[in-house]
Amino acid sequence: MNVSEQIGVSGRELGGLRAAAQKDSPDPRAAQGLPATIAAIAAAHRPSNKPFFARLASLPGNIARDPRMLGELYLAYQAAMHATRAAVYYLPHLDSPALRQRKLQIFVDDDGLANGDTHHYQLSRAFRNIGAICPLGDEDFGEPDELAPHLDSQTAAFVRLARTLYGRSLGPWCIVETMSVDWMRALADALAVHFPGMASEPYFADCFDQGVEERHALEAVAVTQLVLERRPEYLAVTIEDAKTMAEALDGVWAAMDAILTAAVERHGVDP
């Protein structure tokens, strides 16, 4: 089954959307196809289909509990998440009072949790609770140029791209929010094989219980459609940036898979 079939959109319709996005005089109606286009990109890059998650779940227990490996996984994942959380503060085209309110709610969901908590702090606690040696402190996650030297090349590329592309169009925000519930469930499920308490860590449990990422996905696409109905000339860059961000995210999962391979080799077991 190809991507078009998976999301119930014909190849002709997808082709039409791309053509509408690329032609010189954009049609405001082209924004109507944005949800299907974003869904198609998400289906083509679905995180849970990447080998990393299944390999993490099937690791021998002693390797899965390796504090160094857990810390390396934490660093790559937190860096990628941090990059997107920081980058939403640079989103363009959302300057009207009503759109600022909707944007603010996204900020609050990440950085304005009860009692001064944040998704960043929830995630670092979740990994420390399973014994990870986290290579960086929470407040060491800052500018892309400061963070990149601590990262592998693919995760560093994602971090730099997030800052650049989130500030240019709303496409990267749409695709990341659309895919996030998939990778959060895949990561929670893989870690829970080795650490049953992971499923109840607030980073995962609060998000799943409240449907936060599903709401973000709908909101990001709806807000972007509103913008594109008024400014259809932004459609092409919106779709292009969404694709670029999805490809960069593939690189993060590949980098995390390489961390598993290195740990397996350190422990002297065939990968």
Cβ nearer to Fe ion, comparing 107 with 261: 107
Supply the DSSP string of 133-187, one letter for each residue: --SS-GGG---HHHHGGGS-HHHHHHHHHHHHHHTT-SHHHHHHHHHHHHHHHHH
- Tokens of residue 73, six digits: 């996984």
Contacting residue, 216, 232, 253, 263, with Fe ion by CB under 5 A: 216
Q: Which has the closest alpha carbon to 91: 100, 82, 80? A: 100
Q: Which has the closest alpha carbon to 22: 181, 243, 221? A: 243
User: What part of residues 154-193 is at the interface with Fe ion (CB under 5 A)?
Assistant: 177
CB of 238 to Fe ion, least distance (A): 18
Cβ nearer to Fe ion, comparing 66 with 177: 177
Cβ nearer to Fe ion, comparing 31 with 207: 207
120 binds Fe ion (CB under 5 A): no
* Phi, psi dihedrals of residue 201, rounded to the nearest 5°: -60, 135
Interface segment toward Fe ion; rule CB under 5 A; list 2-10, 31-39, 190-198, 205-213 = 205-213
Cβ nearer to Fe ion, comparing 105 with 153: 105
CB of 81 to Fe ion, least distance (A): 9
> What's the rounded Cα separation, in Å, for the pair 10 and 45?
18
199-227 exposure pattern, b = at least 16 Cβ within 10 A, e = fewer: eebbbbebbbeeebbeebbebbbebbbbb
119 binds Fe ion (CB under 5 A): no
Interface segment toward Fe ion; rule CB under 5 A; list 150-158, 166-174, 200-208, 215-223 = 215-223
Residue nearest to Fe ion (CB): 216
Q: Which has the closest alpha carbon to 227: 120, 127, 102, 121? A: 102
82 binds Fe ion (CB under 5 A): no
**How many chain residues touch Fe ion (CB under 5 A)?**
3
CB of 76 to Fe ion, least distance (A): 18
> What's the rounded Cα separation, in Å, for the pair 96 and 260?
46
The footprint of Fe ion (CB under 5 A) covers 177, 213, 216
